[in-house]
Amino acid sequence: MKSAGDAALAALERRLGHDFRNRGLLLTGLTHASAATATRETYQRLEFLGDRVLGLVITEMLIAAFPTASEGELSRRLADLVRKEACAEVAAALDFGSAMRLGGGKIKRSSLLTTNVLGDVCEAVIAAIYQDGGLEAARTFIAAHWRIKLMADAVPNQNAKAALQEWAQGRGIGVPVYAIKSKSGPDHEPHFEVEAKVGVLPPANGEGRTRREAEQAAAAALLAREGVWKAPAR
């Protein structure tokens, strides 16, 4: 009979979209120092590797998405996309906390799930995927969960919602409408998913730490899909 821990781990694997051949790598990536033992390694070494894998893949995506950007602009975008907060958002959205190995009681366990810890664990899980399935597996995971973030900042100094409204009205197809699809995470660190829809066009989704940020991402996604703005590389 499977334990609750096994079930939580299997559920997380499904959310990750990667079936581990060596599940021990994933377990290590989810082990906090508070749960470490003489035979149980923590996520710290994997975090070190995952940070580099994430940086490489995001750099590839940026190079492809912004062929005329300067080194300075690429560096700014890279720093924003690989920051702890961005990684923690992915970890929270995929509910890494439900499968983590943490020491102490329920209250203490909850207090350990800070932005820094979730960000570190996200990098560790990326490394676990990389070591288990290779760079292409890690690239697939990162692209799936960072493409919207990259897209939200696809055109700096422009307002995606304003651009979408201007484009839609110019074509007589109506006014953009935004709807919250989901809100998750604690009150101090919420995560929004918003749908943008214009006329009879298929809707587009966006995510963000605030409703406005998610609406901007959704608008940018719709503009990119319709070829108005350049979409980031897959």
One of 47, 120, 123, 195 is an active-site residue; which one? Answer: 123
**152 token code pair:** 């939200």
One of 47, 51, 89, 193 is an active-site residue; which one? Answer: 51
- Say how many C-beta atoms besides its own lie within 10 A of residue 120's C-beta: 25
CA distance 26 to 129: 8
Instruction: State yes or no: is 123 an active-site residue.
Output: yes
Phi, psi of 207 (to 5 degrees): -125, 155
**192 token code pair:** 């929004």
Handedness of CA 106, 108, 114, 118 (dihedral sign): negative
Task: Give DSSP secondary structure letters for 69-125.
Answer: --HHHHHHHHHHHSSHHHHHHHHHHTTGGGG-B--S-HHHHHHH--HHHHHHHHHHH
Q: Among all residues, which ones are annotated catalytic?
A: 51, 123
